[in-house]
Structures are given as structure tokens and as C-alpha cells.
Structure 1
Amino acid sequence: MENISLLLNEALSPYLVSVGPVDTLGNRRIAVKDQHGLLMAERLVNRSQLTDNRTVIDVVDGFHRDLLVAEGRLQPCVIAALQHAAQSRQVFSAGM
């Protein structure tokens, strides 16, 4: 798990990432703080999301979006519109 912690810290720099212990359901609490120790984002992540590179990338992407929203650089409605557009493209390409 130390490797995951290092990877998350590197991917989310300059923020500080802490990975909590495994809970009874196999989840870990990941907290992202700014340089002053202010909690910027926190999420409960399933252990399986931290075992594969693709799912770790998804976790990092999710935190990047959360941080952009927390900093006021991205509005939640923009995220919803982007997700809707991505789903529409998937449905369209699946129908071809």
C-alpha cells in the first residue's frame, strides 16, 4: 500500500495524500489536503480500485475533478454535462 500512497502523492502534487487503514468492508479512506493541512477532498475507496493501474487512474481523475470543483475552477454542472456527453458517445458507438 505504500506504493499506492507514493503514487497518489505524486499524481496529486502539490496536495498531500493520506491513505487510511482498511476498514471491515475492505475500503480505505483517502484524504487530500492542501499545503496548509486544509482538507480539500476525501473519499472512501474500495481496495479493488487500488490494485489495478486503470482503476487507480480513475481514482486520481476523480480527485482531480473534486479538487477543481473545490478550488472553484470547475462547476459541478460542467462535470455533469461532460459525463452526459461521454455516455451519449458510448451509446451511439455501441449502436453502430
Structure 2
Amino acid sequence: MENISLLLSEALTPYHASLGAAGSRGECLVTLKDAAGTVVLERVVSAEQLRDKRLLTDVVDGFHRDLLIAEGRLEPSMIAALRHVASSRAFTASAGFV
């Protein structure tokens, strides 16, 4: 798990990631702290998400999004709008209207 913590810290620089136990099924509490040691984000993730490379990439992407929101650089409503546009394009492309 120490390797996962180091990978997360590297992927989420300048934040420091630490892992702690969070559940009876092997869930882990991932805590991100800034340089001053202040907790910025915490999230419970399954052990499977930390073992599978693709799922771990999704976890990192989720933290990046949440950090943008926490830093005030992205509004949650903007995420919803972007998802709506992406799903509209996918629907249009699958219907042959592109």
C-alpha cells in the first residue's frame, strides 16, 4: 500500500496522499493534504480500485476533478453541462446525424 500512496502523491502533486483503513471489506481512506498539512480531500475507495491500473486512473481523475472544485477552478454545474454536451454528441453520432 505504501507504493500506492507514493503513486497517488506523485500523480496529485503538490498534494500528499496517505492511505488508511476505512472498512471491513478492505476499503481505504485516501486523504489528500496540502503543503501546510491541511486536509483538502478525503475519499473512501475500494481495495480493487487501488489494485487495478484502470480503476486507479479513474480514482486519480476523480481526485483531479474534486481538487479543481475545491480550489474554485471548476464549478460542479460546469461538470454537469460538459457531461450533457458529451452525451448529446454521443447520441447524435450513434443516430447517424453527425
Whether the TM-score (by the shorter chain) exceeds 0.5 is yes
Separation in 1, partners of 2:94, 2:2:
39
Change (3 A) 1:16 1:87: same
Separation in 2, partners of 1:95, 1:47:
39
Change (3 A) 1:34 1:92: same
Q: Is the 8 A contact 2:12 2:64 kept in 1?
A: yes
Separation in 2, partners of 1:93, 1:49:
31
Aligned-residue CA RMSD in angstroms?
1.7
TM (norm. structure 2) is: 0.85
Aligned length: 96
Structure 1, unaligned stretches of length 5 or more?
Answer: none
Separation in 2, partners of 1:90, 1:19:
37
Structure 2, unaligned stretches of length 5 or more?
Answer: none
Larger CA Rg, structure 1 vs 2: 2
Which residue type is aligned with residue 4 of structure 1? Answer: I
Aligned twin of 1:32: 32
TM (norm. structure 1) is: 0.86
Separation in 2, partners of 1:89, 1:78:
17
Residue 79 of structure 1, CA deviation: 1.2
Percent identity over the alignment is 53
